[in-house]
Amino acid sequence: MEVVKTTPEELLKGYKERIESLLFNGNSNDKVKGLYEPIEYLLQIGGKRLRPCMVLAGCEGIGGNPEDALHAALAIEVFHNFSLMHDDIMDDAPLRRGEVTVHEKWNANAAILSGDAMLVQAYQYLAKSSPQHLPKLLTLFNTTAIEVCEGQQLDMEFETRTDVEIEEYMEMIRLKTSVLLAASIQMGMIIGGASEEQHLLGYEFGLEAGLAFQLQDDYLDAFGDPTKFGKQIGGDILSDKKTHLYLTCRANASSSQLAQLDKWVGKTASPQEKIEEVKALFVETGAANVLQEQMRFHYDKALSALSKLKLTDEGKQLFNFLAELVHIRNV
């Protein structure tokens, strides 16, 4: 067996640096600085660049040259940031990655229009792909982009609905989060020359890993290690967010448990007590267990797709590393 010299961590670090070296060289018109400043601001705030790394990983993992996938990777990252800029207006979010959001730093109109320009810029990057792959990439990108809009629509609708089913929640996170991760890998694999069967498996891996990833985020919000989890523990509970835990808890609760849960909905006083009592209900109703089963279910499906992928040795290491990110050992 060939000795693999580059570790997955090193590969991903290299991808991230390569992406960031190009990300800030987008087209810009000096006469219209006001349009481009919010774009540059949001892009330089940073982030893990997970999605564009998945594009390059998909391409190199299948044996292609990751340089060929750079434009597609930039398209994905700029699209992702467009969606953040607009979501933050809709969610009235004051902060993004610890920094002031664009609509707060400028105003809502600036965030609308600069976001629009970002969506077009994403297509400008995509248009630089080789003509051979362009029709397939464009169709996949379009489908995914519409689905991300649909996911955000469902997420907004859920805020005011009281009858959200678990199946609807899963559909929402599939659309809002997972399809973009899935399409990132698939686009990379298409550019890397994968067969249709192979790049569809790449999509499936990304989709299932993405679902596990989002469910893990729900789980960690309540039960994570405060020293490791990036956000405040219990944030979803305090904002009465209709997460997987919350919805399963409601569905499984006895009438007395339901009364206990309802007592806390909408309350902002005694936050620490609220978090502890609601977490206890998540455990008592079995919601925490159900969520762990679901995470395991999607993690296993991701591994099953992965086992059918014909990857290079380095690709295997890299994809196993990505899969491990959604496999929590402490649950």
Q: Long-range CB contacts (< 8 A, 24+ apart) of 151-157? A: 151/175, 151/176, 151/177, 151/179, 152/83, 152/87, 152/90, 152/176, 156/90
Residue identified by tokens 């609509």 is 103
Pick one of 112, 164, 283, 331: the residue that binds a copy of itself (CB under 8 A): 112
Closest CA to 184 of 155, 213, 215: 213
Longest CA–CA span in the chain (Å) reads 64
- Say whether residue 157 binds a copy of itself (CB under 8 A): yes
Pick one of 93, 95, 100, 146: the residue that binds a copy of itself (CB under 8 A): 146
Closest CA to 148 of 184, 199, 95: 184
Residues 166-205: x where in contact with a copy of itself by CB under 8 A, - otherwise, as a string: -----x----------------------------------
Report 2-41 residues binding a copy of itself (CB under 8 A): 27, 29, 31-32, 34-35
Please choose, out of 60-68, 127-135, 290-298, 316-324, the segment that lies near a copy of itself by the rule CB under 8 A: 127-135
Closest CA to 48 of 75, 86, 81, 5: 81
Query: With left for phi above 0 and alpha for psi between -120 and 50, is residue 286 left, alpha or beta?
Result: left
Give dist(CA 165, CA 155) in Å, integer: 13
Q: Which residues pair with 100 in a beta bridge?
A: 95
Least CB distance to a copy of itself at residue 75 (A): 11
Least CB distance to a copy of itself at residue 281 (A): 29
Least CB distance to a copy of itself at residue 115 (A): 8
- Say whether residue 164 binds a copy of itself (CB under 8 A): no
- Say whether residue 99 binds a copy of itself (CB under 8 A): no
Give dist(CA 95, CA 45) in Å, integer: 11
- Say whether residue 120 binds a copy of itself (CB under 8 A): yes
Give residues in contact with a copy of itself (CB under 8 A).
Answer: 27, 29, 31-32, 34-35, 86, 89-90, 108-109, 112-113, 115-117, 119-121, 123-124, 127, 131, 134-135, 138-139, 142, 145-146, 149-150, 152-154, 156-157, 171
